[in-house]
Amino acid sequence: MQANQIETSLNALLASPAVAKMLDHLRADAARTLAEQSAIAEMPAPPFQERARAQYYRGRFIELGLEQAAIDAEGNVIALRRGSGGGPKVVVSAHLDTVFPEGTDVRVKEADGVLRGPGIGDNARGLAVLLSLLGIMDAHAVKTVGDVMWVGTVGEEELGNLRGVKALFRDHRDIDGFISIDGLKVARVVNQATGSHRYEMIFRGPGGHSFSEFGLPSAIHAMGRAIARISELVTPSDPKTTFTVGTVRGGTSVNAIANEARMTVDLRSNSTGELLRLEANVLAIVTEAVADENTRWGSDAIVAETRLIGDRPAGMTAEDSPVIETVRRTLSAIMPEPRIVLAASSTDSNLAMSLGIPAVTIGGGGEGGGQHSLNEWYRPTEAHLGPQNALLTLLTLAGMDGVSAPVLPRRAGT
């Protein structure tokens, strides 16, 4: 059914003079989009401090015809563009936040056609592409069949813990499909959500002088026992499952028995089952490490507290779903023989996939590197392909009034 339906709808779109003009317009809009990308990158958006960028984004939504744009209680910027009726509700989103703390120099510098600056690709590119897409649809007075919800999310990075999309799907239960614009490579299609659990483990003990009170158990020694055992864990390569002790700190002096030590642990898997299995093993290791340190010194003074500080669900959008089949075909329509790669990653799409809502994360176009570093760079090589792919994907899924029927089915109960 759906392969023929997708082909029919996409061919109708490609044959439409209005769509052809929009695709040309997106190519011509590349320089303006790049300038806005640079401007957005220079707006600081540290974790949990996205307000300034959100206000800018809301203003741009209003300029582009979404007069009811608002910032919700979590900090997301949300606006609804209604369709002609009877179609699905599709979300198009990009995340507002960066990984860089307050005070980071986020100025963008250009040299030899390359832009350099923290966050210039992740995710200033996605944010600029979303605005370009919305602007083209507004300029050409495009009406979709289904409703389209435009969203700038907060909390996608690090310990933001996907708080933005968690709030979005909590407050809007009638979403039928989800498109996230994140990353750069247009032929890289994320259809699998890498789940993660992140912990802070805090080891506590009596502490004391390293010489005069030798024989007391050490919080650092207990933590060291745990780290050593965690490092020996064996995890499957398929589904890919990983772990790392990311940070450690503790102690007060070189000649003191540590009374406190802390570590953070990142656990990831493309399988919920494997993630839970790995988590159980790590938690058991911490308990054993505490017991061993206490036994070593004939004590019961060492204790450990484990705090879950990050929880990103795993999930998948099937390869034969309308969303993934649509992206395959739209890429083939704008690129000669695209080498499409279906990938797993941790993005805003995790939440939708975990709920069984068809979702995909697509690239904004261009090329770059150094994401999450101060040396991040971006080169706008064929950058227009990102917004072109996003436009065709959205119109195929939601339908274009008078041109094509939507291929994304409405979910039961929506």
pLDDT at 333: 97
To the nearest whole number, what is the mean pLDDT of the chain?
97
- Going by pLDDT thresholds of 50, 70 and 90, the confidence category of residue 412 is confident
Which residue intervals of the chain bear CATH 3.40.630.10?
Answer: 2-192+314-398
Strand partners, 110: 115
Query: What six digits make up the tokens of 261?
Result: 């030590």
Residue among 15, 30, 16 at smallest CA distance from 135: 30
Query: Please, are residues 390 and 181 in contact by the beta-carbon 8 Å criterion?
Result: yes
CATH homologous superfamily, domain 2-192+314-398: Zn peptidases (3.40.630.10)
Residue showing tokens 């261009």: 366
Predicted TM-score (pTM) of this structure: 0.94
The residue among 222, 215, 186, 231 whose CA lies nearest residue 331 is 186
* Mean pLDDT within 341-353: 97
3-state secondary structure of 285: helix
Nearest 5°: phi and psi at 6?
A: -65, -45
Task: Provide the pLDDT for residue 1.
Answer: 44
β-partners of residue 195 are 269
User: Could you tell me whether strands 77-81 and 147-153 are parallel, antiparallel, or unpaired per DSSP bridges?
Assistant: antiparallel
Q: Calculate the CA 188 to chain-centre distance.
A: 14
Instruction: List CB contacts of 403: < 8 A, sequence separation 6 or more.
Output: 12, 13, 16, 18, 19, 395
Q: What is the mean pLDDT of residues 183-191?
A: 98
Rounded CA-CA distance 136/213 in Å is 72
Q: Is the pLDDT of residue 414 over 70?
A: no
The pLDDT tens digits of the residues spanning 61-76 come to 999 999 999 999 999 9
Considering the four listed CATH numbers 3.40.190.10, 3.40.50.300, 3.30.70.360, 3.40.109.40, the one that applies to the domain covering 195-312 is 3.30.70.360
pLDDT at 134 over 90: yes
Sequence ranges of the chain with CATH classification 3.30.70.360:
195-312
**pLDDT per residue as tens digits for the range 168-178:** 999 999 999 99
For range 77-106, the mean pLDDT? 97
Rounded Cα–Cα distance for residues 248 and 309 (Å): 15
